[in-house]
Amino acid sequence: METTLRGVGVSHGVAIGEVRHMGTAVLEPPAKQIPAEEAEREQGRARQAVEAVAADLIARGNLAGGEAQHVLEAQAMMAQDPELMADVDRRIAVGSTAERGVYDAFAAYRALLANAGEYLAGRVADLDDVRNRIVARLLGVPMPGVPDSDEPYVLIARDLAPADTALLDPTLVLGFVTEEGGPTSHSAILARALGVPAVVALPGAGELAEGTVVAVDGSTGEIFVEPTADKRAELAAAAAERRAALSASTGPGATSDGHKVPLLANIGGPADVPAAVEAGAEGVGLFRTEFLFLDDSKQAPSEEKQVEAYRTVLEAFPEGRVVVRVLDAGADKPLEFLTPAEEPNPALGVRGLRSLLEHPDVLRTQLTALAKAAKGLPVYLEVMAPMVADRTDAKAFADACRAAGLQAKFGAMVEIPSAALRARSILQEVEFLSLGTNDLAQYTFAADRQVGAVSRLQDPWQPALLDLVAASADAAKAEGKSCGVCGEAAADPLLACVLTGLGVTSLSMGAKAIPYVRATLAKHTLAQCERAAAAARATDTADEARAAAQAVLSGE
């Protein structure tokens, strides 16, 4: 009998297949004591296992490329964290085996993350995966992971670690469903990069029996268990209609009555450029430069290295627009040379622009590198600061840009509610705004973007979040300036119409989403988008907002 479950759809498309479950977690190693004379040998075993796991993560990243590579490199740094390794050595010195020392040290660090504010709590899944890989290697048992199968299947897991998601084979893994995670978790972001339909934050997903046939709709978040022949036909027809619309839609983003909405790509570095170009991106709306800095947490990359990376991206979009975000460090992206070693709540502490203003040499080097990279190119370079709170922040950033001789537009990201509420004030200092809806939702609702338990508050359809988007867009219009969206909200085709109706002037997203958004925008007039936006804002919940907008755009 067909039943329907609902999670959070995070990657478009429909997948129908049999359920296969992720391998079980590594068992807890026994707590046995070792003689003192064996401690040095066990410490060596632990270090070898850590280095091997870090090397494997980096190798997986090199194979995956793009955004997955940056995520896995960050995870490798987590494995090699010197404080963690010092704790492992201490535990082995007082009698623990290598595997038990690793297990207990990671457990202690896990507890610190879980209690250090919800932003850092979202990294627990990544930490668990690193621990499991090290312990498995020490125990000599297979690493739990994606199941072996000769036939295509739908993967079910509690959560997917980046190392697993990055190397999923789309010819075998038709789609995946997780119990945890959120719309902006690593699994969701990598699923969109792979183009694999995915649903996250589905309680009870692990209870689906092995071999059960399910249909996964990554657009709506619905899971149909044992779908009927009629339901399969309905989903297949809808998927065929989507494919036809995608192939028919080309060129710049615009509504059906010709209102232009540039569709830009979010990238992490030069490796992401080919996919953006192939998708028809009209430029880059978010170049996340922090991944350049994650190669070495102890020192910033040289000016020369930065110039090379920036110029590669800028050259790919002649006559196009490239929006670069300066380094956004802190919270879940700590850097030894930049961010404080200890903060009670890093998500609310010294991160983003605050870190850079405390280290003006790092900011100056990055801005100078951007100026040199853009020299002589016809690209339209725009540079923006993360985590701008008020006009004082905006002025400090604009002053730094001018001092570095940067010939570009200066902008501010709207990720903090205060920036949306005082957007006109901020626009006295900068020339454009860019809404980071992921962090804006997190700070508006005090709901971590990585924690599945609060995923309903991370839903970008929340009317309160739409109100803040409207306030920012209205302020930009009043000042004659632009206001784009570079958060994951822009990747939702229906929500892209609503954002357009709210007055947003450009949309930036993962490359895979661009064709879906382009095709959907092309079906509706600007007036329809404005009515859908008004209808969504008149509701009280995310589900009601989505339904109201859908009703307007479908002519109901």
Phi, psi angle pair for 371, to nearest 5°? -60, -45
Catalytically annotated residues: 186, 486
For residue 450, the one-letter residue type is Q
HSE-up (13 A, CA, CB side) for residue 515: 19
Phi, psi angle pair for 455, to nearest 5°? -65, -30
HSE-up (13 A, CA, CB side) for residue 215: 22
| Total number of residues shown for the chain | 556
- Give which of 11, 15, 59 is closest to 171, Cα–Cα: 15
- Give which of 270, 305, 262 is closest to 287, Cα–Cα: 270
- Give which of 516, 468, 511 is closest to 496, Cα–Cα: 516
Cβ pair 409, 433 in contact under 8 A:
no
Distance CA 477, CA 504 (A): 9
Cβ pair 146, 173 in contact under 8 A:
yes
- Give which of 393, 411, 441 is closest to 326, Cα–Cα: 411
Kindly give the pairing relationship between strand 321-325 and strand 222-225: unpaired
How many Cβ atoms sit within 10 Å of the Cβ of residue 1?
5
Phi, psi angle pair for 269, to nearest 5°? 170, -175
3-state DSSP call for residue 1? coil
- Give which of 534, 508, 493, 552 is closest to 255, Cα–Cα: 493
For residue 338, the one-letter residue type is L
Cβ pair 196, 500 in contact under 8 A:
no
Output the CA angle 412-416-417, nearest 5 degrees: 115
Cβ pair 154, 216 in contact under 8 A:
yes
Strand-pair partners of 484: 434, 506
Phi, psi angle pair for 464, to nearest 5°? -60, -35
- Give which of 208, 232, 203, 226 is closest to 19, Cα–Cα: 208
Cβ pair 26, 219 in contact under 8 A:
no
Torsion of CA 177, 180, 184, 188, to 10 degrees: -20
